[in-house]
Amino acid sequence: MTAASGFPFEFAYMQRALVAGTAVGIFAPMIGIFLVQKRLSLIGDGIGHVAFAGVGAGLLLNVWPVWSALAFAVVGALGVDWLRARRRVAGDVALALFFYSGIALGVVFVSLGGGLNANILTYLFGQPLTVMRSEIRVIVGLGAAITITMWVFRRALFAVVTDEDWSRAAGLPVDALNATLAVLTACAVVAAMRIVGILLVAAMMVLPVASAQLIARSFRGTLAWAVCIGVVSVVAGLWAAWIWSLAPSGAIVLAAALIFTICSIVKRAAPRSLRQEEHA
């Protein structure tokens, strides 16, 4: 492993990676905080696997895989939400059903299309350094739509994910808001898959939130910290990948995991008096 020197973001491909990655660092935790509160932290993983089927279908049918992945992911997310809401099957079983069906369908489509190739691996594991301008437009466009929608709906979504029974009794449109969250999650998975990969996309939704909830004392504070940690993880991961020639997607997620570890240690090392006050 050779170490590079200099400022990494003076190169055009690193700048493109930074722009797309920063967008992911902002919108992924914004979705993730609601999924974590709803105890659906792994749903991003499940939808990612359905999106993989969409990528396979796109390559097979010669359609841009981003659009086919988006179609599959949205249908999959709404399907999981529908099954969960009607309690036809338990939440984790519903997730497993889509999880395994999605990946199996993806494998079948990929084999029909001639087997694994570098293009597919790019979607599975992510590769921000080769992201093109057209892809940046999609990532930033979807990210902006997700961010704006989440901001407008944040209070209602907070009420629903925190106390669904009460929200229903109060007359909030719980089913519509849950469906909106499912569709936005699907959009976030597809928008982020080119940067961190289908296999790691859920990590960028969950890890920054997991770190933030250790240091924040409110939902709003957790959201702000999670977005900051998401962006810092992207910048630090890209920088580390540049210095040590690492896979950028893995480096980004490892940076997020390292921040979580640091937050945990700091939280444990905090003066006992502070922790006691918090739980008084």
Partner 1 sequence: MAASRPDPSTGRSTGPSPGEVVLEAHGIRFGYDRQVVLEDVSLRVRAGEFVALVGPNGSGKSTLLRILLGAIRPDAGTVGIFGEDPGRFVERWRVGYVPQRPNIASEVPATVEEIVTSGRLARRGWWRGLSASDRSAVGHAIESVGLTELASRPVTTLSGGQQQRAFIARAFASEPDLLVLDEPVAGVDAESQRRFSDSLTHLIREHEAGVLLVSHELSAVAGAVDRVIVLKGRVLFDGSPDELVRGGVSLGVHREDLPLWLEGLR
Site residues for partner 1 per CB under 8 A: 33, 36-39, 152-153, 155-156, 158-159, 161-163, 165-167, 169-173, 209, 213, 216-222, 278-280
Nearer to partner 1, 133 or 279 (CB): 279
Amino acid code (one letter) for 176:
A
Q: Which residue, 114 or 221, is less far from partner 1 as judged by CB?
A: 221
Min dist CB 86 to partner 1, Å, is 17
The alpha carbon of residue 125 and the mean position of all alpha carbons in its chain are separated, in whole angstroms, by 13
DSSP annotation of 252: H
Six token digits for residue 269: 């090392």
Closest contact distance (angstroms) between CB of 244 and partner 1 is 34
Q: Tell me the C-alpha distance between 267 and 269, whole Å.
A: 5
- Minimum Å gap between C-beta 10 and partner 1 is 38
Nearer to partner 1, 5 or 276 (CB): 276
Q: Residue 161: exposed, middle, or buried by beta-carbon count in 10 A (0-12, 13-18, 19+)?
A: buried
Residue nearer to partner 1 on the CB measure, 10 or 277: 277
The three-state secondary structure class of 53 is helix
**Distance of closest approach, residue 183 Cβ to partner 1, in angstroms:** 17
Contact 21, 234 (CB under 8 A): yes
